[in-house]
Amino acid sequence: METIRINDNVSVTSISMTKLKTTSIGVYIHRPLKAETAAENALLPYVLKSGTALCPSREEIAKYLDDLYGATMGATVLKRGEDQIIYFDAETISDSYAPDGEKPVAGLLKLIMSAVFDPYTVNGAFDEKIVEQEKLNAKDRIDAFMNEKRQYASARCQQETARGTSFAIPRYGEKDRIDGITAKSLYEYYASIMTSSVIDIYICGSGSIDEAAAAVREYTDKLEFSPAQIPSTEIITRGGGELHEVTEHMDVAQGKLALGFLTNVRPGDKDFFALTVFNSVFGAGAHSKLFNNVREKLSLAYYASSQLEKFKGMIIVNAGIEFENFQKAYDETLVQLEEIRKGKITELEFESSINAILNLCNSYFDDQRALVTYYVSDRVAGTDMPLEAFIEGIKRVTPGDVANVAKKLRLDTVYFLAGKEEA
Amino acid sequence: MELTFRKNELTGESMYCGVHSSGLGIYIIPKKEYSGSYAIFGTRYGSVDSKFIVPGETEVTEVPDGIAHYLEHKMFDQPDGSNVFDKFSKYGGNANAFTSFNITAYLFSATANFEENLAALLDYVQSPYYTDETVAKEQGIIGQEIRMYDDNPGWKLFFNYINCLYSKHPVKKEIAGTVESISHITADYLYKCYETFYNLSNMAIVITGNVDVDREIKVIEAGIKKNEPFTEPIRKIYPEEPAQIASPYAEKKMAISSPMFMMGFKDTDVGMDGKSLLKKNIEISILLRMLLGKGSAIYKKLYDMNLINNTFATDYTMQPDYGFTAFEGESKDPQRVYDIILDELEKVRDKGLDRGDFERAKKVMWGKYIRSHNDIEDYAVTFIQLLFMGIDYFDYYDVYKTVTYEDAVDRFNTHFVRENSALSVVKPL
């Protein structure tokens, strides 16, 4: 891994991975997640990928990419803790696999840099037609949040657990903010953030870092930057208190139960390794206690699992159940947590959990996006830990550490997506 | 056993393959620089295979719908009461299985202890153990899996769509069956299906990633249990499917934000496998890119009219005996999308296909093929799916290079036929 700092805000990092036949490029523009700007940050990538100075329309971009053997370029917004990231992702076959000796990597770099730094504009504003279309699409995206019930229940539980913090703001922002955005106001916003944000660019595969840096400098040399930082996130440390209970009704065939636990562990804490292993023992996989008890022993669910939201220090448990089995599934989840607290972790459960995490981490070395995602997340969390060091940290965890960290968990929120309300 | 070595100069990949005396097909594609490795052990048996004649018998066997999927779940129970996941978990293998219309497959990925995981895979897939008690236990879990799909609008959209296209073929049925159909499944039925479709001569194993050919082949040879290969094929019985569609339109209301649609064409040029099937696939994929890709005039028109957004996508599903294209997305007015696409396709028919578009779309197919080598899991799954259709994915180029503009024109005329089209819509409540 090699990094070139273009200036105080912008950096280019190269990760070589020539065993893959592709090269991928990622651009991450870090913005604080705030109610006032969340919708603009979410709209912006969709406008930027619809027209660039190099290819002023969607069709021209699509044809340009198809000519590079079907290279891809996408743009969206990510939410990592309270960092709302405007994210571009592009991928092409590496030069050595282009049958006629073309240079698809250079071609793709040129397009993505044009999309990020040199959008298609009309009289100092974005193209009005593009902006109006993407405003409609942005509203649809916000509305579509409810469509996938399993993810919806999980995300709603995260929001409820993170109530009162910026993390409760949805990834795509709020719909009522969209109407006020114009082609001119969005362009002005874009121009202001491009020089006042941390921008991380990654090239992974067979690309040359110097070539990538040169493609970036072509644009950044003309700009004046002001100091910027990566937005930081604090975990939730709400003290004890009443359980926060939320029930929503929707016309669904299956109830979705989600439990939000606070862990009091930060990504940089010594305990974080034990928390990661705890999550695996508790509910991350077919070896876990939730899978083997809620699903296999009691036949209550097809899925019953836990996931770690490390930036906010939360663990969310999800299960799809018959409505009337709410209490059974809830009780069994807490019973399993109690078992871990008491140190009742079998050798097999423990070993399987460690191995599952190691297997996942090692697989990142075969996956350009996964590896880059790890490092972006590491940067946002401020942990500064190479993947190899994270793997070593996991190997040092003991069953006792897992039992101890389990004692830190406190159930904060119970969310239930129930069926249609009885009239 | 003897393995054949093959090398592909265009991709740089190597493959070792052969057929074991048990009838099992073995395919190993080593990628030494990878951290991970992957194995998939599959059978030519899916949700459409509920009616068949066992080799050596004359009577037709008919079993409840959803049984292939049920059997997949029950393979994880072991005679000693243990759960197979435990074995993989111990060795750090990430094990899973899936059932599709035509395939059931058992798989794992690992970054360590590959041989131990491989031995575990071979062992459990060859160790059926079903009792009425363990079979009954699964009713609750699969019942919840079916319920989960009941709440999935994309899944409902898809099944309503293929129910428009097909009136008889079992592809129209839900893979997991229904809560009612699975209530009839017994241990005896499971054994009957197992003894038929899990004969090793009906199966194949594909291994890729950081593996050692000599070591893996030893593990496989040691892991193969006694098996008498069938000397005649399993006769799968499908009802006669008429060429015409069952219904042009389906609609369902669910708790969603805006209408979703899926439309496309029933493939009536079926009954082929191997190279001709792959060639048809490449032709249709090229046409979908040319006609409905992001750079196409139809996409632009619909997008500019705010009738589609960037969830719009196209796909072609193929098997020797059925096939269909599917275009899906979200729209305020699905019927209008349908009408515009069909009208615009008529205009293309009059004007002719653009040669430049054809060449560009063909390049995209090559890029996709190259890219498909990246992910060992995706590659192995694609490889085995195509293998079971008689297609050699390793030598994709041999077929790819033969596809001409004229082939695309012919395919356009046979596939994109208005009478064979249908529209499925899921609307908000």
* Short-list B9, B38, B383, B378, CA closest to B211: B38
Out of B86, B112, B360, closest to residue A348 by CB? B86
User: Rounded distance, CA A103 to CA A105, Å?
Assistant: 6
- Beta strands B25-30 and B203-209 are parallel
Q: What dihedral angle (degrees, nearest 10) is formed by the CA atoms of B288, B291, B295, B297?
A: -160
Every domain of chain B and the residues it spans: 4-236, 249-428
User: Rounded distance, CA B111 to CA A361, Å?
Assistant: 9
- What are the start-end ranges of the H helices in B9-129? 67-74, 84-90, 114-125
Is the distance from CB of B255 to CB of B428 less than 8 angstroms? yes
Q: Rounded mean pLDDT of B89-102?
A: 93
Number of helices (H), then strands (E), belonging to chain B: the values are 15, 15
- Whether the pLDDT of residue B301 is over 60: the answer is yes
Query: Which residues share a beta bridge with A244?
Result: A413
User: Rounded distance, CA B143 to CA B55, Å?
Assistant: 33
User: Rounded distance, CA B161 to CA B172, Å?
Assistant: 9
Q: In angstroms, what is the C-alpha Rg of chain B?
A: 23
Annotated active-site residue B251? The verdict is no
CB < 8 Å to B429, chain A: 251
Nearest 5 degrees, angle CA A215-CA A220-CA A226? Answer: 150
Distance from CA of B52 to the nearest CA of A (A): 30
Distance from CA of B89 to the nearest CA of A (A): 5
What phi, psi does A393 have (nearest 5°)?
Answer: -60, -40
Concatenated DSSP letters for A175-192?
Answer: GGGTTT--HHHHHHHHHH
User: Rounded distance, CA B8 to CA B52, Å?
Assistant: 38
pLDDT under 50 in chain A at which residues?
A: none
Residue A207: per-residue pLDDT? 87
User: Rounded distance, CA B62 to CA B193, Å?
Assistant: 10
User: Which residue on chain A is closest to B367 by alpha carbon?
Assistant: A69
How many residues does the structure list for chain A?
423
Classified as helix, coil or strand, B99 is strand
Task: Judge if B4-236 and B249-428 fold alike in CATH terms.
Answer: yes
Distance of CA A405 to the CA centre of its chain: 25
> Rounded mean pLDDT of chain B?
96
Interchain pair A302, B254: CB under 8 A: no
Is the distance from CB of B303 to CB of B309 less than 8 angstroms? yes
User: Rounded distance, CA A231 to CA A196, Å?
Assistant: 12
Residue A152: per-residue pLDDT? 96
Distance from CA of B60 to the nearest CA of A (A): 33
Interchain pair B92, A254: CB under 8 A: no
Pick from A108, A363, A387, A417 the residue to mutate for testing the B interface (most B CBs within 10 Å): A363
Interchain pair A363, B111: CB under 8 A: yes
CB < 8 Å to B309, chain A: 136-137, 140
Pick from B9, B31, B35, B311 the residue to mutate for testing the A interface (most A CBs within 10 Å): B35
CB < 8 Å to A356, chain B: 89, 92, 94
CB < 8 Å to A301, chain B: 141, 144
CB < 8 Å to A253, chain B: 147, 150-151
Out of B111, B145, B304, closest to residue A358 by CB? B111
Q: Which DSSP category does B200 fall into?
A: G
Out of A22, A137, A286, closest to residue B89 by CB? A286
Residue B227: per-residue pLDDT? 84
Interchain pair B152, A91: CB under 8 A: no
User: Rounded distance, CA B14 to CA A193, Å?
Assistant: 49
What phi, psi does B210 have (nearest 5°)?
Answer: -80, 80
Q: What dihedral angle (degrees, nearest 10) is formed by the CA atoms of A164, A166, A169, A170?
A: -130
* Short-list A204, A19, A16, A94, CA closest to B32: A19
User: Which residue on chain B is closest to A20 by alpha carbon?
Assistant: B374
- Beta strands B104-110 and B37-43 are antiparallel
Residue found by looking up tokens 């593990």 in the block: B219
Q: Rounded mean pLDDT of B289-307?
A: 96
Task: Tell the CATH topology of B249-428.
Answer: Cytochrome Bc1 Complex; Chain A, domain 1 (3.30.830)
CA distances from B276 to B68, B295, B363, B388, B400 (A): 28, 28, 20, 14, 11
In this complex, how many residue pairs, one in chain A and one in chain B, have their CB atoms less than 8 Å apart?
188
Is the distance from CB of B276 to CB of B427 less than 8 angstroms? no
Residue A116: per-residue pLDDT? 98
Is the distance from CB of B42 to CB of B198 less than 8 angstroms? no
Pick from B144, B354, B401 the residue to mutate for testing the A interface (most A CBs within 10 Å): B144
Query: Which residues share a beta bridge with A327?
Result: none
Residue ranges with strand state E in A191-270 = 198-205, 244-249, 255-262
Q: Rounded mean pLDDT of B343-368?
A: 96
- Beta strands A244-249 and A410-418 are parallel
Classified as helix, coil or strand, B139 is helix
CB < 8 Å to A146, chain B: 255-257
Residue A422: per-residue pLDDT? 67
Pick from B111, B146, B312, B397 the residue to mutate for testing the A interface (most A CBs within 10 Å): B111
A279 phi-psi bin (left φ>0, alpha ψ -120 to 50, beta other): alpha
CB < 8 Å to A129, chain B: 304
CA distances from A157 to A151, A161, A168, B152, B158 (A): 10, 6, 10, 19, 29
CB < 8 Å to B367, chain A: 68-71, 92-93
Q: Name, in order, each residue with C-beta under 8 angstroms of B285's C-beta and a sequence gap of 6 or more.
A: B316, B365
Classified as helix, coil or strand, B27 is strand
Interchain pair A359, B109: CB under 8 A: yes
What confidence tier does B143 reach under pLDDT thresholds 50, 70, 90? confident
Interchain pair B141, A301: CB under 8 A: yes
- Given CATH 1.20.58.340, say whether it is the number of domain B4-236: no
User: Rounded distance, CA B424 to CA B88, Å?
Assistant: 41
Interchain pair B89, A358: CB under 8 A: no
pLDDT above 70 covers a percentage of chain B that reads 100
* Short-list A26, A51, A91, CA closest to B294: A51
The complex scores an ipTM of 0.91
* Short-list A116, A115, A119, A112, CA closest to A92: A112
Q: How far apart are the first and last CA of chain A?
A: 61
Q: Which of B62, B72, B344, B346 is catalytic?
A: B72
Is the distance from CB of A222 to CB of A195 less than 8 angstroms? no
Q: Which DSSP category does A172 fall into?
A: T
CB < 8 Å to A63, chain B: 295, 360
Out of B90, B92, B142, closest to residue A358 by CB? B92
* Short-list B318, B336, B228, B240, CA closest to B280: B318
Inter-axis angle of helices A368-381 and A387-395, to 10 degrees? 80
Q: Name, in order, each residue with C-beta under 8 angstroms of B143's C-beta and a sequence gap of 6 or more.
A: B179, B182
Taking every pair of Cα atoms in chain B, the longest distance, rounded to a whole number of angstroms, is 68
How many residues does the structure list for chain B?
429
- The neighbour count for residue B31, using CB atoms within 10 Å, is 21
Out of B90, B137, B150, closest to residue A351 by CB? B90
Interchain pair A286, B93: CB under 8 A: no
Is the distance from CB of A359 to CB of A382 less than 8 angstroms? no
Burial of A38 by CB count in 10 Å (0-12 exposed, 13-18 middle, 19+ buried)? buried
Is the distance from CB of B196 to CB of B236 less than 8 angstroms? no
Q: Rounded mean pLDDT of B306-317?
A: 96
- What are the start-end ranges of the H helices in A149-293? 149-161, 183-194, 209-220, 272-283, 289-290
- What are the start-end ranges of the H helices in B151-259? 153-165, 179-182, 187-197, 213-223
- The neighbour count for residue A338, using CB atoms within 10 Å, is 11
List domains and CATH numbers for chain A: 2-220 (3.30.830.10), 244-418 (3.30.830.10)
Of B409 and B149, which is predicted with more confidence? B409
Sheet with B313-318, strands from edge to edge, namely B249-254, B421-428, B260-265, B323-330, B313-318
